[in-house]
Amino acid sequence: MKIYHQLALVLAVGLIGCGATPVRESTATTTPDTRNAIVAALKAELDRSMDMRFRDYEPPYFIAYGLNDETTTTIAARFGSVFMNDVDRERAAYVEVRVGDYTFDNFANIEGESFRLADYAPARRAPLNTDAEALRGVFWLLTDDVYKKAVSDYLTKRGSSVYDTDEKTDVPSFSKETPQTFRGPFLKGELDRDAWAKTLGEISKVLTEDEEVIDSLVDLTLTHATRYFVNSEGTDVVQESLIYSLQLSAFSRAPDGMLLDTGRSFYAREVKGLPSADTLKAEAIAMVKELKALREAPVLDPYTGPAILAPEASGVLFHEVIGHRLEGERQRNEEEGRTFKGRVGKAVLPEFLSVYDDPTLRNYEDIQLNGFYHYDQEGVAAQKAVLIEDGVLKGYLKSRSPIEGSLKSNGHGRAQGIAKPIARMSNLVIEANAAAKVPYDELKKQLMAEVKAQGKPFGLIIRDITGGSTNTSGWGYQAFKGSPRLLYKVDPDTGEETLVRGVELVGTPLTSINKIIAASDNVDVFNGYCGAESGYVPVSTVAPALLTTEIELQRKQQSNQRPPILPAPWKN
């Protein structure tokens, strides 16, 4: 499978000017009474469902209920005008039923799940009020449906286990965890929609001033989620999250028809963390200049050679090459490549590099981190997971799905909305030891020296990257890909940098990461969202710039089309 994500630089920004007396809309939807009423209804139905049993089939040994209450505010502008200004709220229900026991149940890599033609599937939408009977009704129907499927899957798995080796059957299906009770702080997302709509429209107009910009979008999204989670072990967790996401994007075409794009992304947990109108205007002007430079930039042929990956690019590299391959479920799934299975205690990186993932980090220095949370979506407390220390593999990202040699969760079971949680990254931090860190200017000198030593015509600096993807499956090549947005050739004699375009970063995991030889002493923070089997989840990466002796670039697959035949209406 392929996993897509996008990481973006968080800039130091000020307050937006929204007028002297702004009218702010609030996304607050919970009170102590609301929380208590919902939790009581969920617990009552869960307790009743634990007594469910059909004939002589296995009853549930574990049930979990989740309720995701999400309010999304979206404002978007194109061509100088507002195209969207909406608020949407939805509650959705999640039900997990396990039959069997912790050692062997209906979950964990069922290769041949039961297939049945259903003429009815219960809706997962839940009432927006605290009507206990309506809420319990939703979970009653869902639990009945999920239980029947659980029994069928359990029997299927039990039958197919006669073909499995001891290595596969000896790993438990589910981890035992200590029950938790948690009530997170009440949050209130505020947004002056009228003022922001005006601001976004003005910024969008700036992006249309270059006649070669064929399209652009400026959008602001405020997502306020309240998650309720209870299970039959006694866990009872309610927590809220707020993320403001502000995106600027613009598109143009080069003379040869290649589509070009540039953008900016800003994330914050409070509205005061968003950029001011002046900052946004300056960024929009810079984007227009970038597109102009890209239109004039030459196309680079496929190339291998030394390169500096700026912090964003190195963050994407480690996210794709290391992070996804250390997710727990991938170690026990035979359809996965399992690059690092069974390698705990062995060197997997250059010895000057360490990697850990820590969802308890709210900030790195003064920058907020997207990947912060108190408890994961399985009700397990967030924990720092040391993955690699001094180049040696120490462990994996873990949900409640045990893997060989690691039977407990470390609080990384994550999902979007009501998807089934699996082990996922949160705040991935890449660190270099003091001996390997040098100032950026020195890192560039080392790049130039390496280019000369290899007899290459030039080196590379990847300053900006739109995101990446990776293939972790066993049936495909173990490879990753990144899409550089700002890529420069570096003259090994003068250090002169020349912008180029038309290629993408590719490679295989173990080869790529073991050609890193140095790191910068400056570190940057990147926030974004990562998509995988359990949906899109907010993540952050903290990384230095890295020098590698070899990076591979292949020609970017690109359809070359003519730009619009007529100029934009406002250019006549």
**pLDDT digits (tens), the chain, 572 positions:** 333 334 433 322 222 233 333 446 777 788 999 999 999 999 999 999 999 998 889 999 999 999 999 999 999 999 999 999 999 999 999 999 999 999 999 986 544 444 555 678 899 999 999 999 999 999 999 999 999 999 999 998 888 777 766 555 578 999 999 999 999 999 999 999 999 999 999 999 999 988 899 999 999 999 999 999 999 999 999 999 999 999 999 999 999 999 999 999 999 999 999 999 999 999 999 999 999 999 999 999 999 999 999 999 899 889 988 999 899 888 887 666 677 888 899 999 999 999 999 999 999 988 999 999 999 999 999 999 999 999 999 999 999 999 988 999 999 999 999 999 999 999 999 999 988 899 999 999 999 999 999 999 999 999 988 766 665 555 555 567 778 899 999 999 999 999 999 998 887 767 888 899 999 999 999 899 998 889 999 999 999 999 999 998 888 877 678 888 888 888 76
On whether the CB atoms of residues 432 and 353 are closer than 8 A, the answer is: yes
Check residue 41 and give its pLDDT. 97
Residue 466 has a pLDDT of 79
The count of other CB atoms within 10 Å of the CB of residue 326 is 26
Give the pLDDT score at 4: 37
The DSSP element (H or E) to which 228 belongs, if any, is strand 213-231
Q: Which of 66, 61, 71, 41 is nearest to 124 (CA)?
A: 66
Residue type present at position 49 = S
Per DSSP, 209 falls in state: S
**pLDDT at 220 (0 to 100):** 97
d(CA 363, CA 482): 26
Class for the domain spanning 2-296: alpha beta
> Contact, 5 vs 465, CB < 8 A?
no
Domain ranges of the chain: 2-296, 303-555
**Global model pTM greater than 0.75:** yes
The one-letter code for the residue type at 431 is E
Alpha carbon of 9 to those of 246, 430, 466: distances in Å?
Answer: 12, 16, 11
Q: What is the pLDDT of residue 467?
A: 67
Give the 3-state DSSP-derived string for 61-113, with helices as H, strands as E and coil as C. Answer: EEEEEEEEEEEEEEEEEECCEEEEEEEEEEEEEEEEEEEECCCCECCCCCCCC
Q: Please report which helix (H) or strand (E) contains residue 411, including its range.
A: none
Cβ–Cβ under 8 Å, residues 8 and 264:
yes
> Tell me, what's the pLDDT at 21?
37
Cα 68 to chain centroid distance, Å, stands at 18
pLDDT at 473: 54
- What whole-number distance in Å separates Cα of residue 132 and Cα of residue 236? 17
Closest by Cα among 358, 359, 308, 327 to 465 = 308
> Which two tokens mark 533?
């089997």
Q: Enter the tokens of residue 289.
A: 């200049």
DSSP 455-516: T-S-EEEEEEEEEEEEE-BTTS--EEEEEEEEEEEE-TTT--EEEEBSEEEEE-HHHHHTTE
The pLDDT of residue 560 is 74
* Size of the chain in residues: 572
DSSP labels, 249-296: EEEEE-TT--EEEEEEEEEESSGGGSPPHHHHHHHHHHHHHHHHHHHH
